[in-house]
Amino acid sequence: MGSIDSTSLLNEATGGTAVGDQFPLLPERVKEASAHLNGSALHEHALKKVADAPAPPITYPPSPWKPRFELENHGIDEARSLRVVVIGAGLSGVLAGILLPAKVPKIDLTIYEKNADVGGTWFENVYPGVRCDIPANVYQSTFTPRTQWSEKFAQGSEILQYWQDQARKYDVYRYVKFNSSIQTAEWSDDEAKWIITIKNTSTNETFVDRADFVITATGRFNHWKLPEYPGIGDYKGVLRHTSNWDPSFDPKGKNVAVIGNGASGIQVVPNLQPIVNRLDHYARNKTWIAGSWAGDERTFEPQYFSAEELESFKDDQTYLKYRKELEAQYWRRFASTFRGSQENEEMRENFIKIMRQRLAKKPELLDSLVPDFSPNCRRLTPGPGYLEAITEDNVDFVQTPIKRFTETGIETVDGKHREVDAIFCATGSHAVPQYKIIARGVNLSETWKPEGKYGFPYTYLGLATPGFPNLLYVHGPHAAGPSGTVPHAVEVQLTYYAKLLRKVSSQGIRTVEPSKQAADDFVEYSDAYFATTVLTDNCSSWANGGKAGLRISGMWPGSAAHVTIVRKEPRWEDWEYTYLAKSQNRFAYFGNGWTTKEADPESDIASYLKVPSEIDLKDLHEKWWDWP
């Protein structure tokens, strides 16, 4: 072999650029090291080796059928920043504001909230007696428990305080824009962005924002609805939904009506009954009153923790033991949801016994209350004080359907008219979002309405809907199982989204949406599953969109533990992707073959090495943030 000119060989090997210059995105100090390499003795050594190598490789012609694939000049671990808009700052939005920035590098997050502060349900619902009907120690984040709840079943104001404290502690407020009500979110295929119109509720001005992703966290009970009876507009007294309570109205000594015997009606009735002159309670359907949720003692009076209990909770281990035992009860009350199960049968007998005892003053009411559907068809409500209240002499328990509202009160279909100073409607909420989410000419909410294209909230695993790219729901349809806790379900769902957002931002993905086949398979599974449960008994509930016979979309088809497993490991094969690269090559994000970390001589490239006693083989090499 004759002698070879090292410079021309280098040019041939590098296409004329110096090592390091080929990767202009590499950190400066790496380029400096490369520049040094280009002129050093080491360089000579490398050339000698190259000189002995075979001839340069053949250049293959580009594929004729798609744009020429070009290497992207970046490390594989160079994620792009995603602009993410969360709608709503209830506990779901607050948890999103805590978890997403912690789990999604470079996220550019804004949370729009129509109210003046965070808290959602607990900010808005201030009717007399509003409180958690499960223990406060079970209704909090898994990672920052409050040990010093004053009552076992905390009042709404204390729960609100807790979530506002969380928002402060984790600096969520910096992401939230208040008094900002989303009017529409419209998808642009050209831009691959959601174009969001927001109304400033203080000034009534609207403005537009854009986002790569929209995550709805607008709650299932936030879009409250008044009933649509004839004459409702004529009524001249105080007319309020319980979620829109007027704190300036003093019901003391007044004649009032409460419509609805869902959880809100059941909670407000015993709190109004002792102070009003007369209470007409319109309950058109029967319902179960649960003794308790999971074996807890319930009383109408506040159930305070003793000073000794609270002191003992200051010890981490004591509190953890208490918390785990209490929370476990809420994960283990699942068997009673199955039709014909012994647990459900026992529940029915137990509830009838309790209801009979508590209705002792007017035993005839038992027949008016015990439904022909099974317990758990509607969400259970312990309703402390409710049955006692409706047996009191100043309460008229009205099951005759309402015919119309008048200027002074309510007339039922039997012609009876009852005059009242105020009407409180505990009449529930719309099952579908009341703002517009539009993609490719389709309004999501319209398709979800009973008369719409799907007729129910059509989703893939309660996460997203085919045809609506880059749109995710937190605690929306199929949010959680009938067991477990709301905050746990929300945290797990947000963790799924963190994985999805990391995948999108790090793998050159432009859009992502679930496949129709996957969504259809989920609906098929859900239908078969719910048919085995009492949720498909003949009752109306928010789980079936308020009408017996409609599909169950309010619950996860399985237990809370079950949905946790499903959402822990995303099935990426159920999603459809488009890519940022012109070539649409799914591997374009591989970049220049480097990781930015390895290109940085200062980085801890062997961060995976640990003291052996700190290693757990179960999660060895599974930490998303740790790579060489």
Ligand X SMILES: NC(=O)c1ccc[n+]([C@@H]2O[C@H](COP(=O)([O-])OP(=O)(O)OC[C@H]3O[C@@H](n4cnc5c(N)ncnc54)[C@H](OP(=O)(O)O)[C@@H]3O)[C@@H](O)[C@H]2O)c1
Ligand Y SMILES: Cc1cc2nc3c(=O)[nH]c(=O)nc-3n(C[C@H](O)[C@H](O)[C@H](O)COP(=O)(O)OP(=O)(O)OC[C@H]3O[C@@H](n4cnc5c(N)ncnc54)[C@H](O)[C@@H]3O)c2cc1C
The residue ranges that bind ligand X (CB under 6 A) are 132-133, 221, 227, 259-265, 267, 282, 284-285, 379, 381, 402, 426-428, 540, 542, 546
State the nearest-atom distance from the C-beta of 325 to ligand Y, in Å: 19
Q: Across the chain, which distance is largest between two alpha carbons, in Å?
A: 114
State the nearest-atom distance from the C-beta of 207 to ligand X, in Å: 32
Q: 255 is in the binding site of which of ligand X, ligand Y, none (Cβ under 5 to 8 A by kind)? A: none
Name the helix (H) or strand (E) containing 568.
helix 560-568
Q: 262 is in the binding site of which of ligand X, ligand Y, none (Cβ under 5 to 8 A by kind)? A: ligand X
Q: 435 is in the binding site of which of ligand Y, ligand X, none (Cβ under 5 to 8 A by kind)? A: ligand Y
State the nearest-atom distance from the C-beta of 286 to ligand X, in Å: 9
Q: 542 is in the binding site of which of ligand X, ligand Y, none (Cβ under 5 to 8 A by kind)? A: ligand X
* Beta bridge pairs of residue 278: 255
State the nearest-atom distance from the C-beta of 370 to ligand X, in Å: 15
Instruction: Pick the closer one to ligand Y by CB: 26 or 490.
Output: 490
Q: 462 is in the binding site of which of ligand X, ligand Y, none (Cβ under 5 to 8 A by kind)? A: none
State the nearest-atom distance from the C-beta of 455 to ligand Y, in Å: 23
The crossing angle, in degrees rounded to 10, of helices 560-568 and 486-506 is: 10
Which residues in this chain contact ligand Y in the complex, by CB under 6 A?
A: 87-93, 112-115, 120-121, 125, 130, 132-134, 139, 181-182, 217-219, 221-222, 243, 264, 435, 475, 486
Q: What share of the chain is helix, strand, coil (3-state, %, to 5)?
A: 35, 15, 50
Name the helix (H) or strand (E) containing 11.
helix 6-14
Q: 90 is in the binding site of which of ligand X, ligand Y, none (Cβ under 5 to 8 A by kind)? A: ligand Y
Instruction: Pick the closer one to ligand Y by CB: 10 or 84.
Output: 84
Q: 89 is in the binding site of which of ligand Y, ligand X, none (Cβ under 5 to 8 A by kind)? A: ligand Y
Report how far apart the first and last C-alpha atoms of the chain are (Å, whole number).
40
What does the DSSP 8-state code read for residue 272? Answer: H
How many other CB atoms are there within 10 angstroms of residue 217's CB atom? 28
Distances (CA, A) of 533 to 291, 293, 348, 370, 384: 21, 18, 15, 19, 27
Tell me the DSSP string of 24-86.
TTS-HHHHHHHHHHHHSHHHHHHHHHHHTSPPPPPPPPPPTTSPPP----S-TT-PPP-EEEE
Q: Which residue bears the tokens 């201030």?
A: 126
Q: 428 is in the binding site of which of ligand Y, ligand X, none (Cβ under 5 to 8 A by kind)? A: ligand X
Q: Supply φ then ψ for residue 282, to 5 degrees.
A: -90, 110
Q: 181 is in the binding site of which of ligand Y, ligand X, none (Cβ under 5 to 8 A by kind)? A: ligand Y
Cβ distance 171 to 99 under 8 Å? no
State the nearest-atom distance from the C-beta of 322 to ligand X, in Å: 21
Tell me the DSSP string of 313-362.
TTSHHHHHHHHHHHHHHHHS--GGGBTT-HHHHHHHHHHHHHHHHHTTTS
Q: Which residue's beta carbon is nearest to the bound ligand Y? A: 219
How many other CB atoms are there within 10 angstroms of residue 222's CB atom? 20
* Beta bridge pairs of residue 314: none
Instruction: Pick the closer one to ligand X by CB: 93 or 156.
Output: 156
Instruction: Pick the closer one to ligand X by CB: 373 or 589.
Output: 373
Instruction: Pick the closer one to ligand X by CB: 79 or 259.
Output: 259
Instruction: Pick the closer one to ligand Y by CB: 51 or 116.
Output: 116
Distances (CA, A) of 612 to 145, 164, 430: 31, 41, 55
State the nearest-atom distance from the C-beta of 561 to ligand Y, in Å: 17
Instruction: At 594, list the tokens.
Output: 């480097």
State the nearest-atom distance from the C-beta of 308 to ligand X, in Å: 27
State the nearest-atom distance from the C-beta of 399 to ligand Y, in Å: 23
Instruction: Pick the closer one to ligand Y by CB: 220 or 278.
Output: 220
Instruction: Pick the closer one to ligand X by CB: 293 or 435.
Output: 293
Instruction: Pick the closer one to ligand Y by CB: 409 or 481.
Output: 481
